[in-house]
């Protein structure tokens, strides 16, 4: 049996760390990892037999590495283990007293967030909800609500007041993949802008049915009819987005998603707009008041919207959704880490790895749940041992976790990788990429019938070379399928 361990001796000659290896040296894997295109790249590898837990292959398996989106594997595994696979988010609508005979709530209507990141039309349309705010307004009307004498209070106190991570690069802030992580979230806390180049000058409009946001357009006409180069600022304290860039005359209905600053306010403004469309009169304002529900001595539950944790885990892994992963990170922090914050998530994840998985957390740095932070550090051993532990969990948890992973040659981020008939479907794994780091970790089903948990973490990757990393990772997977 050839080693997946000593294969980087020449490759890592420039690395001051002494490599640690397991298994026999030589053979095909040496050739794979000695490719000239991998010169200077740091590689950490661990492969475990899931049934026995035995380490089969290792190469610098205990070296802390930047995991990129492989961090999501740890976050989702911890969420399933700590919250339970049947956990449901419960977004509650409370009042001191329920609607009276005329449908009137005498005081405030309070919306209490549960950290649910799946209240999005693109997610819930599969269950017939293409506009979550409209659906919630319908629920309240069906519950008898016709008027609110007080404010519409949004209580996002389950999470802290730091919606963005300090580690996230400045160039990512303002992009939809780095949207705020809030206790009350709607449509991934983003507004959708639609651009059109036809007519006398380029136009832009907000697609969302909400109030409190306006667009200040500074668009110019491009001489190139097909050019679409635009950007937008996040809404300021007055809800104004400034849009700049060039749009050609042939551009039709192009979209851009822009994060807001406060998810709870987007939630409240959108809900208010939908309630007013249904004739519900709200005398007060939309007010953000974290902890409002806890201050009530008595409360009537007017309505509640529940969604399953399983949907969030599926999207975090299958679609590599940063926002969902970081919502889950803060949620496990609230439930098991002492606070609904990134620091709380780190504490909860450390507890999970130590007590539930039983892996060594020395050298690990746990900063966020998505892997967007370049300061995260995981070891290939810790990732592989987590995967093995999840595979040995009770059936419902293990099966759910497995089904959330992209399948080689079939779906998710692996749909165009390992597409040959001999390998399609043999690998279920999570990809990862940020500047300088490329990763692939998951499970391999071998021709001999074994299930292996593996982690391939590549760091110091030159810019523009991720395709080379992917090629080598895929070849390692082919080797594992065929040889073991």
Instruction: Tell me the catalytic residues.
Output: 69, 72, 320
Q: What is each CA distance from 103 to 83, 139, 269, in whole angstroms?
A: 36, 13, 21
- How does DSSP assign 330-344, residue by residue? HHHIIIIISSSSHHH
Neighbours of 199 (CB within 10 A): 8
**DSSP string covering 93-130:** EEESS---TTSEESS-EEEE--------HHHHGGGT-S
Residue 285: Cβ within 10 Å count: 11
DSSP string, 407-468: BTTTSGGGTTSS-STTTTTSEEEEEEEETTEEEEEEEEE-TTS-EEEEEEEEESPPTT-HHH
CA-to-CA distance for 183 and 118, rounded, in angstroms? 12
Render 150-204 in DSSP notation, one character per residue.
S-EEEE-TTS-S--S-TTS-TTTTTSGGG----SS-SGGGEEEEEEE--SSS-EE
Give CA–CA dist 248/123, Å, rounded.
32
β-bridge partners, 443? 428, 453
Rg value, the chain, Cα: 25
Neighbour tally for 18: CB within 10 Å: 7
Angle at 352 between CA 453 and CA 294, to 5 degrees: 140
> Which whole-number Å values give the CA distances from 82 to 87, 200, 317, 371, in the listed order?
10, 57, 17, 20
Q: How far apart are CA 355 and CA 246, in angstroms?
A: 54
């Amino acid at each position: 049996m050839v080693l997946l361990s000593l294969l980087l001796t020449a490759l890592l000659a420039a690395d001051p760390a002494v490599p640690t290896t397991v298994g026999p040296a030589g053979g095909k894997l040496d050739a794979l990892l000695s490719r000239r295109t991998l010169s200077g790249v740091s590689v950490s590898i661990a492969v475990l037999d899931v049934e026995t837990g035995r380490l089969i292959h290792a190469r610098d398996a205990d070296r802390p590495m930047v995991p990129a989106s492989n961090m999501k594997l740890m976050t989702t595994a911890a969420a399933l283990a700590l919250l339970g696979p049947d956990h449901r988010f419960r977004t509650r609508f409370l009042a001191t007293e329920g609607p009276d005979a005329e449908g009137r709530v005498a005081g405030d209507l309070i919306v209490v967030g549960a950290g649910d990141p799946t209240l999005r039309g693109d997610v819930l349309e599969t269950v017939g909800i293409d506009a979550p705010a409209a659906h919630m307004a319908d629920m309240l009307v069906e519950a008898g609500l016709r008027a609110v004498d007080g404010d519409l209070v949004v209580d996002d106190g389950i999470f802290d007041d730091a919606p963005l991570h300090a580690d996230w690069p400045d160039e990512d802030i303002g992009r939809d993949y780095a949207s705020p992580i809030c206790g009350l979230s709607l449509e991934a806390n983003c507004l959708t802008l639609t651009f059109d180049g036809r007519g006398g000058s380029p136009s832009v409009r907000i697609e969302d049915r909400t109030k409190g946001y306006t667009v200040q357009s500074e668009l110019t006409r491009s001489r190139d009819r097909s050019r679409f180069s635009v950007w937008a600022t996040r809404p300021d304290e007055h809800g104004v987005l400034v849009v700049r860039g060039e749009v050609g005359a042939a551009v039709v209905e192009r979209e851009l998603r822009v994060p807001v600053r406060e998810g709870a306010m987007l939630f409240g403004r959108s809900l208010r707009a939908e309630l007013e469309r249904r004739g519900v009169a709200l005398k007060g304002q939309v007010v953000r008041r974290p902890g409002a529900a806890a201050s009530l001595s008595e409360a009537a539950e007017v309505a509640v919207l529940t969604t399953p944790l399983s949907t969030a885990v599926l999207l975090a892994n299958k679609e590599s959704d940063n926002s969902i992963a970081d919502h889950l990170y803060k949620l496990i922090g609230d439930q098991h880490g002492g606070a609904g914050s990134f620091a709380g998530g780190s504490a909860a994840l450390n507890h999970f790895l130590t007590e539930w998985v039983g892996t060594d957390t020395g050298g690990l740095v746990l900063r966020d749940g998505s892997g967007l932070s370049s300061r995260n550090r995981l070891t290939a051993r810790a990732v592989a041992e987590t995967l093995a532990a999840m595979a040995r969990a009770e059936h419902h948890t293990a099966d759910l976790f497995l089904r959330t992973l992209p399948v080689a040659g079939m779906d998710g981020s692996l749909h165009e990788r390992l597409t040959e008939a001999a390998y399609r479907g043999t690998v279920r794994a999570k990809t990862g990429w940020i500047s300088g780091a490329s990763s692939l970790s998951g499970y391999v089903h071998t021709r001999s019938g074994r299930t292996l948990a593996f982690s391939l973490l590549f760091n110091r990757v030159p810019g523009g070379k991720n395709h080379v990393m992917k090629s080598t990772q895929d070849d390692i997977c082919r080797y594992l399928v065929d040889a073991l």
